[in-house]
């Protein structure tokens, strides 16, 4: 009796008299209550009837209760009822698992699956797809492997529906080789099979493999791509920046009637923006009445990538005006736009906006601020952003070192490097590029060489950028021959930037003989760069070798190499 005191009077009366009432009437009443369920109190009413009428053993009613609880987002009521069922069967477990899958409660699904096994309830063909989906979403490949063993023991090795779930699980968990192997041995392939493996390849950094699979899928006349596979293929074309074939997939989107799918609009916008077609990207963006933050991000980052930084800043302002809350990616893109434009005023506004937002201590946002303030010439503000970061990793330290390096403040850069080492943070190759650049701008030859050779102590192999800095540093200080010997000792083929640094020094110090050698090396690798021809011509002119200087100009004309017209940013 006490259990019924919370129910309405007419329901209590019905429950107390259930022995004399037609059971069919009670079932009909419970079913009607669940059909009309829109509020939590409706669930409580139905639960009271189920408990008081002794119909809790009716698995069909219990399943309907679970689905109704799921539909209004109150699965805890479903669990309360489920826990009171004396002998739940696989049908009820499947219903509850499916409901949790709908709400993205993937950890709970794995807990329910383990509970099933502990109770000795055998999973069926409806259990495994949802459980495998949970493993994939959690990237739990170890649990996925054990479930793979379970379904093989139960004889589901030929069930295409379950095999598709296995392929998707392995692909989402990063085990793409296993997913591809399963796909190759499928007895029959449907659109879900193809989509699972194509999406897996696209998401795991294998865009070319994803595109090959898509071409194979198109050759299979009985399978047509769905919008999920088209999203993955467009992402792959975006990664390889293949606008021609990506545009053809846009045609498939329109043919299939998927042009209003939000995910496809986002992917298409990102593809056109990344490939340089910002006008097309913006036209797609404008088709969406209420773009979400992902679509805003795709458009803003596309503008930034293509150098349309004023447009990116303007779009960010429009986003704020539209009351769409930006995320960390949006803010970083807007900050990057400020850095490229060199707009300290808007950069300050971004800094103030960030300080008031939930990203005030976000390491990625503040690292972007350090970079932006450094490029805009405000190293004091860059240091303030640096100090706001509670846990500084190597990227944060390197950003500040590079900032000081850009402005030739080598002693400050070295001081930050010393503090970084004292904090126990291990430098990387980017850190040393910042240090060497700082020493180069300040003309600190001894310090630059010291840090160049210090890289070996940290197991860091010097790259072209490091050699270019050191060659420029040594050569500008008058050690042209020493710089040439350093280049000859390089373990890899010197890049144009390395030779270019030496050629510039040959021009400064009038070293004609070495300048000719260096110029020949550069012209073999980069024959269309007018700047190197001009430098060689200037070397000859400085030495009074006017006929040689004229020959260089003739060679430029014969090869169709023209000097870029100078322009002012202002």
Q: Tell me: the pLDDT tens digits for 164-205?
A: 899 999 988 889 999 989 888 888 888 888 888 998 888 888
pLDDT digits (tens, 9 = 90+) for 263-278: 888 889 888 888 888 8
What is the three-class DSSP state of 407? coil
Percent of the chain with pLDDT over 70: 84
User: Whole-angstrom Cα distance, residue 125 to residue 123?
Assistant: 7
| pLDDT winner (highest mean) among 45-49, 425-429, 557-561 | 425-429
For residue 109, give Cα distances in angstroms to 55, 60, 121, 155, 169: 26, 21, 15, 22, 14
Can you read off the two tokens belonging to residue 240?
A: 């390889």
pLDDT at 17: 45
Compute how many other C-beta atoms are within 10 angstroms of the C-beta atom of residue 403: 28
pLDDT digits (tens, 9 = 90+) for 481-502: 898 898 888 888 888 888 888 8
User: Whole-angstrom Cα distance, residue 69 to residue 177?
Assistant: 40
Rounded to the nearest integer, the mean pLDDT of the chain is 82
565 pLDDT above the threshold of 50: yes
Q: Who's near 286: CB < 8 A, 6+ residues apart? A: none
Can you read off the two tokens belonging to residue 86?
A: 């004396």
> How many residues make up the chain in this entry?
570
pLDDT at 418: 93
Please state the rounded mean pLDDT for residues 297-323.
89
Q: Who's near 467: CB < 8 A, 6+ residues apart? A: 486, 487, 490, 494, 498
| CATH topology assigned to domain 462-563 | 1.25.40
16 pLDDT above the threshold of 50: no
139 pLDDT above the threshold of 80: yes
Please state the rounded mean pLDDT for residues 101-121.
88
- DSSP secondary structure code for residue 484 in this structure: H
Confidence label for 88 from pLDDT (cuts 50, 70 and 90): confident
What burial class does residue 533 get, using C-beta atoms within 10 Å of its C-beta: 0-12 exposed, 13-18 middle, 19+ buried?
Answer: buried
Confidence label for 248 from pLDDT (cuts 50, 70 and 90): confident
Please state the rounded mean pLDDT for residues 504-526.
85
pLDDT at 37: 53
Question: Tokens 């198109």 belong to which residue?
Answer: 218
42 pLDDT above the threshold of 60: no
């Amino acid at each position: 009796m006490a259990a019924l005191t919370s129910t309405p009077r007419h329901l209590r009366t019905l429950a107390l008299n259930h022995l004399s009432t037609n059971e069919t009437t009670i079932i009909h009443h419970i079913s009607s209550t669940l059909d009309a369920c829109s509020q939590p109190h409706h669930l409580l009413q139905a639960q009271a009837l189920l408990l008081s009428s002794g119909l809790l053993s009716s698995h069909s009613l219990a399943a309907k209760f679970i689905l109704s609880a799921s539909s209004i987002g109150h699965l805890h009521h479903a669990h309360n009822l489920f826990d009171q069922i004396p002998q739940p069967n696989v049908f009820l477990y499947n219903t509850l698992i499916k409901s949790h899958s709908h709400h993205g409660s993937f950890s709970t699904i794995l807990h329910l699956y383990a509970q099933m096994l502990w109770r000795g309830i055998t999973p069926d063909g409806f259990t495994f797809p949802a459980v495998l989906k949970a493993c994939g979403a959690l990237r739990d490949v170890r649990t996925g492997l054990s479930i793979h063993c379970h379904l093989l023991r139960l004889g589901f090795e030929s069930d295409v529906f379950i095999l598709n779930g296995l392929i998707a699980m392995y692909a989402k968990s990063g085990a793409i080789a296993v997913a591809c192997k399963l796909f190759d041995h499928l007895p029959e392939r449907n659109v879900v099979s193809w989509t699972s493996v194509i999406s897996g390849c696209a998401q795991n950094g294998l865009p070319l493999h994803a595109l090959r699979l898509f071409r194979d899928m198109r050759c299979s006349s009985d399978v047509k791509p769905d919008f999920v596979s088209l999203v993955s293929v467009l992402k792959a074309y975006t990664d390889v920046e293949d606008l021609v074939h990506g545009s053809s997939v846009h045609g498939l989107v329109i043919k299939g009637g998927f042009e209003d799918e939000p995910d496809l609009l986002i992917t298409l916008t990102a593809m056109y923006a990344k490939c340089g077609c910002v006008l097309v990207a913006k036209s797609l963006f404008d088709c969406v009445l209420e773009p979400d933050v992902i679509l805003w991000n795709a458009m803003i980052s596309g503008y930034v990538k293509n150098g349309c930084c004023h447009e990116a800043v303007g779009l960010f302002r429009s986003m704020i005006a539209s009351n769409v809350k930006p995320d960390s990616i949006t803010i970083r893109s807007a900050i990057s736009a400020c850095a490229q434009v060199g707009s300290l005023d808007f950069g300050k506004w971004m800094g103030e906006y960030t300080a008031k937002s939930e990203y005030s201590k976000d390491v990625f946002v503040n690292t972007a601020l350090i970079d932006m303030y450094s490029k805009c010439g405000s190293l004091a503000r860059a240091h303030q952003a640096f100090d706001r970061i509670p846990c500084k990793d190597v990227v944060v330290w390197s950003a500040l070192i590079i900032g000081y390096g850009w402005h030739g403040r080598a002693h400050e850069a070295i001081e930050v490097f010393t503090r970084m080492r004292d904090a126990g943070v291990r430098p990387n190759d980017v850190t040393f590029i910042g240090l060497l650049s700082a020493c180069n701008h300040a003309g600190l030859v001894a310090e630059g060489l010291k840090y160049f050779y210090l890289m070996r102590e940290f197991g860091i192999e010097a790259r072209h950028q490091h050699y270019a800095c050191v060659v420029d540093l040594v050569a500008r200080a008058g050690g042209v021959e020493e710089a040439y010997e350093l280049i000859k000792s390089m373990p890899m083929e010197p890049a144009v930037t390395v030779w270019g640094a030496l050629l510039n020094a040959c021009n400064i110090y009038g070293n004609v003989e070495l300048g000719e050698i260096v110029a020949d090396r550069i012209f073999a690798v980069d024959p269309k760069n007018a700047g190197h021809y001009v430098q060689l011509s200037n070397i000859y002119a400085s030495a009074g070798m006017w006929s040689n200087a004229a020959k260089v100009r003739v060679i430029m004309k014969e090869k169709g190499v023209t000097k870029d017209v100078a322009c002012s940013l202002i």
